[in-house]
Amino acid sequence: MNKKNYSIIIQARLDSKRFPKKILKKVHGKEILTIMLERLKKKFKDKIIVAISNKDHKKIVDICNKQKIKFFLGSSNNVLERYYKCAIKNKVQTIVRIPSDCPLIDLDIITKGLKKFFSCNIDYVSNLLPRSYIDGNDIEIFSIKCLKKIYSEAISSFDQEHVTTYLQRNKKKKIFKIKNFKAAKDLSLKYRLTLDYKEDLAVIQKILVNKNIFLNYKSIESMFRKNPNISKINKKFIGKMWYQKQNSL
């Protein structure tokens, strides 16, 4: 798999309306973005690029430099353009898209998605259509050809901000060859591990209480199950997704 031309492109910005500068918040002295990069480097060291908003980017760039990770500066609002230009500049043929608010994404889930993508003649693979993993393990994998088509055809500001919503909206038209993969057990509406609110940060702090940033999916699920009070912290946000704003998705 390492011989395949793919890169994990992480979108990152500091001007989140719900929780500004969330990826700079610290857990045991490490920024959330640093924790994410250190986890990913364990298995995908030379495959990571951070696609950064060109607005207020210095601190993110500093983290990338410290972690010796490639970065690309692009449009603040048009994330689709940022991804496309990042992929073109770095000659990436297969894009693994991960948002920076999924700092504890399991590395084996990424590997599972890549195996699915490279074993099938398809344009797009995800674990989002429908969701089954604990929120915070979001992954999308697509070809540069697929990304180019989305980039050339998606004209709404919503689609440009969210990158793949144009593809998702048109999945029934079969414009793209799409596959989804699922977890063994659907926990998508039981726990929440993504970072959008202060309560989410508190959950991540509880999960990393023993300072082991390399916990895998199974270990985290076990912590949630054995300590039900953890999931109560951000319970009101479980199942809350940005795309609910668009009924057509």
Query: How much is the average pLDDT of 92-103?
Result: 97
pLDDT-based confidence at 3, cuts 50/70/90? low
Residue 196 · residue 203 · CB < 8 Å: no
Return the structure tokens found at 154. 């998606």
Radius of gyration of the chain (CA): 17
N- to C-terminal Cα separation, the chain: 32
pLDDT 10s digits, 33-45: 999 999 999 999 9
Residue 40 · residue 107 · CB < 8 Å: yes
CATH class of the 6-188 domain in this structure: alpha beta
Quote the pTM value: 0.94
Has residue 247 got a pLDDT over 80? no
Domain ranges of the chain: 6-188
Q: How far is the C-alpha of 99 from the C-alpha of 196, rounded, in Å?
A: 11
> Residue 35 phi/psi, 5° resolution?
-60, -45
Q: What is the DSSP string of 151-173?
A: HHH--SHHHHHHSSHHHHHTGGG
Q: Is 167 exposed, middle or buried (0-12, 13-18, 19+ CB in 10 A)?
A: buried
Q: Helix, strand or coil for residue 232?
A: helix
pLDDT of residue 1: 58
